[in-house]
Amino acid sequence: MDLTNLNDLKSLLGKFRIQLSEKLGQNFLVDREVLEKIVASGELKKNDMVLEIGAGVGTLTLELSKIAGRVVAFEKDRKLLQSLELVLRKFKNVEVLIEDFLEFDLQNHLPPTTHYKLISNIPYYITGQILRKIFSAKEKPSLVVLLVQKEVAERIVAKPGNLNMLALSVQFYGNPKIISVVSKESFYPAPDVDSAILKIKVFNKPKIGAGSVRVSSAKNGTITTSEGSISNGVNEKNFFRLARVGFASKRKTILNNISSGLKIEKVKTKKILEKAGIDPKFRPQELSFYDWERLLNEINKNEKQG
C-alpha cells in the first residue's frame, strides 16, 4: 500500500469509513517526491527519536519509522486510530498517542536531556501554537521539519526590512530555511493555499549574544556579525516583552513604539536608540535580530542608571 497514491489512500479511508474533517485541517499528502524531501530534510539516523504531530493515516509516520530508532506520533482524531494501527502494524518502534499535542504534558513524557527531532505535516491553523509550545519547553528539539502554509514559512524566514514577531520568535531559537514550495495539488483534499517544507536547525543556546557585533553606521543601523550561539545573559522573557512593544504598531517608528509602550520620554528613548546604533526613524520590521538585542541592553542600562 502506497498512501501517496490517491487510490490507495481512498481505499484505506473507505475501509474504515473515515470522513475527513476540514475543521481539524485534515489534508493528506499524496506526493511521493514531497514525502521523500521531508524525510531527507530530517537527516535521520537509526538512533534518532522523532516526534510527529498530526499523524493522520500514517503516511509520514511509516517513512519515519523505517529509519528512526523511535517515533512518537500524536493524532487528535480517534477515528484514525484503526488505520494507523494497520499501516504501522509491522513497526515496534512507533508509539501512537491519541492526544491533542497542545494540551499534552510533553515534559513528563520525555525523559530529561532527551534529544529529539520534530518532523510533521501539521494542521496549519495551529502552526503558531505548536512553535510556541516546542520552543518554550525545557527540552527543545534539535531539528524541526514542518510542512506549513507557504505564506507562514515566508514570514518565518523574513530578514530585516520584513521582519515580524513570528520570525523573531523562531529565529531566537534556530535558523529557519525553506527547503521547497509544495503545490496545493500535492494534497487530498487540496487545500486553498500552497505549502512549503520549513526546516529549522535549533541552536544549542538561544541566539542572543551570538558572535561579535559591529555597528558600521549609527545613521542607518547597518550591522555586521559573526555567527554563533553563545548566551550573553539576556533575559528571554524581557527580550520578547520588548519585541511585543516594538511591534505594537508596524506603521509607527521604533521611537514612538518604545517610548509609548515602555513609558520612556521621547528624548531619552532617542538617546537609547542612538546608543544601540538604531535610527529612531526606523520601523520595527527594519531592525535586525541583533538590533533588538542591543536595544534591550541599552534599556537595561538606562533602568539601572535610574
Annotated binding site for S-adenosyl-L-methionine: 27, 29, 54, 75, 100, 121
> Which cell numbers hold the place of 28?
493528506
| Burial degree of 234 (CB within 10 A; 0-12, 13-18, 19+) | middle
Q: Which residues contact 95 (CB under 8 A, 6 or more apart)?
A: 70, 71, 72, 73
Q: Is 22 helix (H, G, I), strand (E, B) or coil?
A: coil
Closest CA relative to residue 252, chosen from 277, 283, 278, 231: 283
Give me the residue label for grid cell 517544507. Answer: 197
Report the alpha-carbon angle 286-244-274, nearest 5. 50
Residue ranges of the annotated binding site are 27, 29, 54, 75, 100, 121
Count of CB atoms within 10 A of residue 173's CB?
Answer: 23
DSSP per-residue string spanning 90-151 = T-SSEEEE-S-GGGS-HHHHSPTT---EEEEE--GGGHHHHHHHHHHSSS--SEEEEEEEHH
Give me the residue label for grid cell 520568535. Answer: 169
Please count the CA atoms within 13 angstroms of the CA of 88 that sit on its side-chain side.
Answer: 27
Q: Is 206 helix (H, G, I), strand (E, B) or coil?
A: coil
Count of CB atoms within 10 A of residue 154's CB?
Answer: 16
Task: Provide the Cα torsion 216, 217, 220, 226; round to 10°.
Answer: 20
